Structure 1
């Protein structure tokens, strides 16, 4: 089992390496990742969600996974707010808002399917039920309310959020699948035949996109912000994962527990970059965090996929809790030096606008509400 998991990780990594070297050889440009993400988030990933949800049997394990995801979101929200609330408002918005939510569609889904098969993918998709709302609602609300000082009120936030939850392709696929579940209707054969190859294509396309998007060019002035953001994120994630592994090792079967632990420790969602751009935060830090956490989370994935089959879930508890403590120590040491150091490039006046100003309204129209829309900033945010 251990060697099998290792070989599956190696095969998945090969796709990422292939994408990275194709970009380095000039065959692909970094901007080509946007086209791949457009395909993933509007075609292949909704197909995966639709195919997976229509076959899901909701049981005690499903409730446990969704409860863990909800706990993770609530804890991340609280810790992010407590740690960063006293910073300059756009610094606080960036760090607190980016502390919430994880990137499952582009990172965990393909790895979970490659390593743990359909059961692993179902566990990741179930976790994503709560996670999607964390990204679309909680993270966005943190960015908006903190960066704008509450300007615009809750009505503006509600209108914007409602538009997104009724137009996001992945959520539309979930709604359709849940409708079939509730009505106990089968997926039409024609639709099933159409979705099957698209869902199958998601794994290699997503892994190739990760390789093409990979960029670890981190500037010196971004380091303090990254230490605080990553320390808070992984401090919460490793702490929760460690507590679960140490005190509740039998809460889930091992083949479901491992992908859930990986999901808890997944990378920063791409929408954090888009939110940072919209609210005039330092999008370079957000972009660097997305790229760097892909690497760090991959290391955690290798550890979980190797150790859990060989030694059981409980063995991960103490190392994860110790790592969590180190993360928070890093945040504690770095936080006093961060105030004002994350200002975006350009004139400060260019970023001082309220939710009712023409500049903000123009920005609202210019920004597309989807994760692939953030890709264009991953490579240009630091320029």
Structure 2
């Protein structure tokens, strides 16, 4: 337990360091785009390759793909009923942010620190299903409720998945495991060295993107959205946590996975469909802070159970 608390303190320190660099203008928030590209396209795929190398495919691991899909569908349905009477534009903006979560950037550095390679394997499989929700369902919701259009383009849904290097890496390493094929040792050793940078870079990036300002007029919507998102995640997470008590890592994954922060892709959709991108960005930032606190509390709870 002491090691776990120490890892969280280190993680908080690195995040605050990133925020300090932004405030002192050593780094700019715009620099985060470059760091994000390095994380998503280089260090995260390297971590996935190393972690999934020679991984034994089990039913609990595979089931996480479908659990993530079903959770996304259930969360979207709950979000629809919660915001069905809201203004058309607000409805689309709020509902699209409920189902998808941020696994690759937010969860992996913390999971790696707490549960190591086993944790990355489980959350990686969860992220396969989550990617379909983020790039498919959330995009559909954003486009359906957008002002002046109700058209849905399949090409714009499939294209991000086919261009997502982390998602393609998941598919590649899972296929290798199914076919019982292995990558050369030199390739794995190189990927392992690169993967070490994933945790500090991801945490620094979170610090760069932290923003504590928002307009008071947003408060009612922010409060309702957070209640729906975290109420849904905690209720479903604890239900499955007890149901999967015989499979500890599976139970931990759903409990933590369901309360991860909103996907940053929501900001891209907000810009694409002319929602309030500033409000969406603020919501994403708030969920980063709340999710970090909740993960610390729930991971402490898990450690005692």
Indicate the SS of the match to 1:166: helix
Cross-structure match for 2:168: 172
Give unmatched runs, 5+ long, in structure 1.
313-383
What is the CA deviation profile of residues 263-290 of structure 1, one whole-angstrom value per residue up to 9, with x for unaligned ones?
1100011000110111111111110111
- Residue of structure 1 equivalent to 2:243: 248
Alignment of 1:38 onto 2:37: yes
Tell me if structure 2 keeps the 8 A contact 1:92–1:147: no
Distance 2:251 2:238 in 1: 12
1:223 alignment partner in structure 2: 219
What corresponds to 1:206 in structure 2?
202
What TM-score, normalized to structure 1? Answer: 0.76
- Which residue of 276, 285, 293 corresponds with 1:299? 293
What do residues 55-107 of structure 1 show as CA deviations (whole Å, max 9, x unaligned)? Answer: 33221321443343233212111111222233222211100101111001111
Shift of 1:256: 4.5
1:60 is matched with 59
Q: Which has the larger radius of gyration?
A: 1
Residues 169 and 159 of structure 1, relative CA distance in 2, 3 Å threshold: same
CA distance in 1, matches of 2:65, 2:246: 13
1:51: how far off?
2.4
Larger displacement relative to structure 2 (274-283 or 80-89): 80-89
Give the aligned partner of residue 19 of structure 1: 18
Q: Structure 2 stretches of 5 or more lacking a match?
A: none
How far 1:228 moved relative to its partner? 2.1
- Per the alignment, residue 83 of structure 1 pairs with 82
Please tell me whether the aligned partners of residues 97 and 142 of structure 1 are also in contact (alpha carbons under 8 angstroms). Answer: yes
**What displacement does 1:42 show?**
1.4
**Contact 2:75/2:99 (<8 A) preserved:** yes
> Is the Cα–Cα contact under 8 Å of residues 119 and 256 in structure 1 kept in the other structure?
no
Distance (Å, rounded) in 2 between the aligned partners of 1:205 and 1:166: 25
> Which whole-Å CA distance do the structure 2 matches of 1:120 and 1:110 have between them?
10
Distance 1:124 1:163 in 2: 23
Instruction: Indicate which of 257, 262, 286 corresponds to 1:263.
Output: 257
Distance 1:15 1:141 in 2: 36
Determine if the alignment matches structure 1 residue 281 to structure 2 residue 275: yes
Q: CA deviation at 1:149?
A: 6.5
